[in-house]
A and B are shown apart, each in its own frame.
Chain A
Amino acid sequence: MSEHAITVVVNGVRHQGRVPSRKLLVHYLRDDLRLTSVHVGCDSTQCGACTVHVDGHAVKSCTVLAVQADGSTLGTVEGVATDGVLHPLQQAFQDCHALQCGFCTPGMIMSSLDLLERYPDPSDAQVRAWLKGNFCRCTGYQHIIEAIRSVGHGSGSVPNEHAGTREGSAQARVCHGC
């Protein structure tokens, strides 16, 4: 089996390592880099608990080889807050009570950041369709959808106390190809 030197930038930090070809990205991030927010749920491309960003887009890291990510820029939820201040989407998850056990949450955040880059003000239907790849076994999704919509600018069915404070938070992000 071949072994490979890989270089990746994860949450802004450059890492060099050696990986056997069959090592999955999720295991590289968890075991080698100790980024344990990246969860293994189904291990079969269904649940999205392992969602991370590869070059800005959300993917299921249980279905990517670490060696495939060589040269890429990666993101996990550990890198989403800035100087201890939660990202508006993380804050919205807390405010809207969008997590219970929290197992799905890192994947939910990474997935919906990609959604908000592509659709800065997603409709209810767009959020629901997007979350097809992320399972939550606790919340029943309703509060997750509210949290995500509350960071879109000027969204509709958002509880009042959440509106305004998060307006525009997703605007600064670049929209790739839409």
Chain B
Amino acid sequence: MISCEFEYCKPDSLPALMQILTMYPEATLLAGGHALLPAMKSREIRPERLVDLAAIPELRGIRRGSDAIQIGAMVTTAEVEHSSLLKEALPLLPDAAKVISDPLIRNRATIGGSLAQAEPSGDWPAIALAVGAIIHLTGVNGERAVPIDDFFQIETTPAGNGLAVGRRTVVARSEVITHVSIPLVQGEVRRSYLKRMHPASGFALIGVAVALRLDQDRRCDWCRIAITGAASAAFRALKAERCLVGTAISGEIIREASMLAGEENVEFIGDPFGSSAYRRQMLPVYLRRALSTAIESALV
């Protein structure tokens, strides 16, 4: 399958990219191309101009600061998976990367592309929500930092095809994600990511990312829970979070919180791979398992 015709260029710095975006605000950014190119080959989308981000050094690299980790937008899922820095500082990310699509796709797909794409069944959106990432954007009008809680836009009409390309985030035209920063939370934080994987595509039929902190008395004093695969965008299970915060963790409270997640006020999506009723039912099951995995070692 061959895509429609398009112009292509590959700027070698962020200022050069901004110049191009000033001239051509309608240009489409190309990262790993593993969402864009399949959609272009099937002619679902027909961009006129691709701007390849691969040669911009400002978008690369994983760094550790004093209180946050920075991941460049063009860092691939495979780089996250094999990063020794992340394995030590935030092992949830390399662990989660292992269950995303397949290793060949992970060698191309980028963090920035996955977040900008905001696939309803994508994994990074939920993981970014659970770790409280901050998305750094640069546009022709300047820079801004958007907390992940304000980054996704839940659509009222679900996007049917898993690979449909559309705007599901606050990223504006002529704006690029430069990097993501993840605050390092003090204390004993436990995290896990659990997904029911579509056996062929690898996408999440339901995916649950949890991060919670326990104090000395094993009370949960901080918690973030995020769900993907259930609605048209990843979302936080706020009812479940409120149920857990301030309580001593027990099997009973985990069950109660998990049930509450199924009552979250979102429109559950359904497709031939899983009806909306199925996803609503699976959510508490997967949340219970994800929470138990995260705190298992804390309870013994």
Contacts and interface: CB of A to CB of B under 8 A. Distances in A.
A115 B102 CA distance: 12
B34 A68 contact: no
Contact of A68 (B4, B52, B78, B202): B52
B234 to A, nearest CB: 22
Contacts of A133: 101-105
A69 to B, nearest CB: 10
Contact of B108 (A22, A63, A114): A63
Interface stretch (B16-24, B79-87, B113-121): B79-87
Contacts of B42: 44
Contacts of B8: 2, 4, 21, 65, 67
B107 A57 contact: yes
Given A57-B78, A177-B79, A21 B6 contact: yes
Interface in A56-89: 57-60, 63-65, 67-68, 70
Contacts of A137: none
Contacts of A45: 34, 37-38, 105
A48 interface: yes
A46 B104 CA distance: 10
Query: Chain A binding site: helix, strand, loop or mixed by DSSP?
Result: mixed
Nearest to B202: A132
A178 to B, nearest CB: 5
Interface string A122-162: 00000001101110000000000000000000000000000
Nearest to B8: A21
B299 interface: no
Interface in A83-113: 111
Contacts of B33: 63-65, 68
Query: Chain B binding site: helix, strand, loop or mixed by DSSP?
Result: loop
A1 B42 CA distance: 18
Contacts of B3: 22
Interface string A14-55: 000000111010000000000000000001111010010010
A58 B107 contact: yes
B82 A176 contact: yes
Interface in B1-41: 1-10, 30, 33-34, 37-38, 41
Contact of A48 (B37, B54, B104): B104
Nearest to B34: A63
Contacts of B164: none
Interface in B29-83: 30, 33-34, 37-38, 41-42, 50, 52, 54, 78-79, 82-83
Nearest to B4: A22
B270 to A, nearest CB: 23
Contacts of B101: 132-133
A65 B37 contact: yes
Contacts of B289: none
Given A21-B6, A118-B82, A111 B103 contact: yes
Contact of A132 (B4, B82, B102): B102
Contacts of B105: 45, 60, 133
B200 interface: yes
A22 B104 contact: no
Given A43-B41, A45-B34, A67-B52, 13 more contacts: A2-B9, A4-B8, A22-B4, A43-B1, A60-B104, A63-B34, A67-B8, A67-B10, A68-B30, A111-B104, A118-B82, A130-B103, A134-B104
